[in-house]
Structure formats: structure tokens, C-alpha cells
Amino acid sequence: MNKAPRYFALIPAAGGGTRFGGAVPKQYQMLGARTMLEHAVEAMLGDQRIERVLIVVAPSDGRWARIGFDRRVAVATVGGESRAESVRNGLKVLPGVADGDWVLVHDAARPCLTRQDLVRLLDRVGSDPIGGLLALQVTDTVKRGVDFRVEQTLRRDETWLAMTPQMFRVGALRKALETHAKTHEVTDESAAMERMGLKPLLVAASPTNIKVTTRGDFTIAEAILRSQGRVK
């Protein structure tokens, strides 16, 4: 008898946050009384279906040891030069998983994920044969530009902003990342799956699920977390 698939989360956090600036990597910047990484981890623990969260950090990173994580959280010092490499390395050491289990890859720099968005993703994608991701459908008119001139106006009903978590079967995602390990265009897990000829499911997310890239984003994230009651 086949066992029911289980759910795991993986958070690549090996980056230095160069665009954010400062001596401390952005995932360890404080948002209230907790680091941004802690907020991202807490969000992924918002549904009991998630059995374990694995954080992937750089081999030289010792900051994680100063944080007291939940018992469902583990840390692996196998981070690579790119996000794809960190995820690929993390999948190799994710304890107790089978190829048919689900893994949700979430950005350490997305601390504002709501439980509602997480539950919606699990509910929608858990029955999908391919997998999927949270995304935000574009409402503004979007232009594709070349040399700072408009080349094309894209259809808004066909344009989405990719977010995380992105949720795929462990075996399928591992194969996709290994197959396209040297492809620089693979900037997220969905892109790797797309290159395998697959079409991941888009699950509508809240616009508050922002990615913190600049100092200005940090201020916005803090305000969102305060409105959610997660920062006082």
C-alpha cells in the first residue's frame, strides 16, 4: 500500500543580501523582537501538515546557532552559490523524505506570508499532479521593454508575479534542479519544472506576501507584520 505523501518545507538562507546592504545578512535583520528568518520560519509552521522545516545556510554561517528554533526546525550548513544550488543541496539532506512527498520552498526574505495563503496553497496543490506556487496576478498594465523603449504590452490576465512558497514533489523537483543545474535562467523552482515541460499551478496570493530586497521593503514588511499582530 502506498503511503500518503507528507509535507516538508525548505528555506534557502545562504545569501548575503548584497542589495540590502549592511554587515548583517538581511535574513538576520531584526523585525521587532525576531529576525526576518524567524518570521519566515514561523509562517511555514502555520499549518500542522508541515512536518519539518529545513533551513539551508552557508557553511560559514554561525548566526543561526544563536536562535532558538521550534523542534520541527532543522538547519543544514550546505548552502551554495545560488538559490538553486542551495535548494538542490538541501533536498539531498532533508531527513526522512520520499520522492513522492511534497516540499514547499520558501524565501527567507518573505516574512509576511499569512496562514491563509499557506493553507490555500496546500489545499489547492496537494491534489495537483505537477505542483504549483503562490503568485500575484498583475493589475497594472505591464510593458516589455528593450533599451528603455516599449517593445510590447503584455496581457494582464496572463501575467503573474511569482512568489513563494513553491510546492513540488521531492523527486520531481530534485530531478529538475539537477537536470538544469548549469542553467542560469532557473531563478526559482517553478522555472526548473517549466524547463521539464511542465506547467505548475498558479495559486492566488495576498499582495502582502512581499519579498524584502531593499531597505524600503524592510520598512513595508515591518508595517505589514505589525498589522498582522506579529510585530508590536
Query: Strand, helix or coil at 10?
Result: strand
| 139 found inside a domain | yes
| 20 found inside a domain | yes
| 81 found inside a domain | yes
* Domain span including residue 184: 7-227
Q: Minimal CA–CA distance to 217: which of 67, 31, 46?
A: 31
Return the sign of the alpha-carbon dihedral for residues 38, 98, 188, 125.
negative
| 2 found inside a domain | no
Contact 100, 171 (CB under 8 A): yes
Total number of domains in the chain: 1
H/E element, 222: helix 215-227
Please state which of the ranges 3-7, 45-49, 75-79, 167-171 shows the lowest mean pLDDT. Answer: 3-7
| 1 found inside a domain | no
| 89 found inside a domain | yes
**In the predicted model, is pLDDT for residue 37 greater than 60?**
yes
Where residue 12 falls among pLDDT bands split at 50, 70, 90?
A: very high
Instruction: Tell me how far apart the alpha carbons of residues 224 and 208 are, in angstroms, rounded to a whole number.
Output: 7
| Grid cell listed for 67 | 536562535
Contact 54, 76 (CB under 8 A): yes
- % of the chain exceeding 70 in pLDDT: 97
What's the CATH code of the domain at 208? Answer: 3.90.550.10
Q: Minimal CA–CA distance to 164: which of 194, 222, 101, 121?
A: 121
Query: Strand, helix or coil at 149?
Result: strand
| 134 found inside a domain | yes
Where residue 60 falls among pLDDT bands split at 50, 70, 90?
A: very high
Instruction: Tell me how far apart the alpha carbons of residues 30 and 112 are, in angstroms, rounded to a whole number.
Output: 14
Instruction: Read off the pLDDT of residues 96-139 as tens digits, 9 standing for 90 and up.
Output: 899 999 999 999 999 999 999 999 999 999 999 999 999 999 99
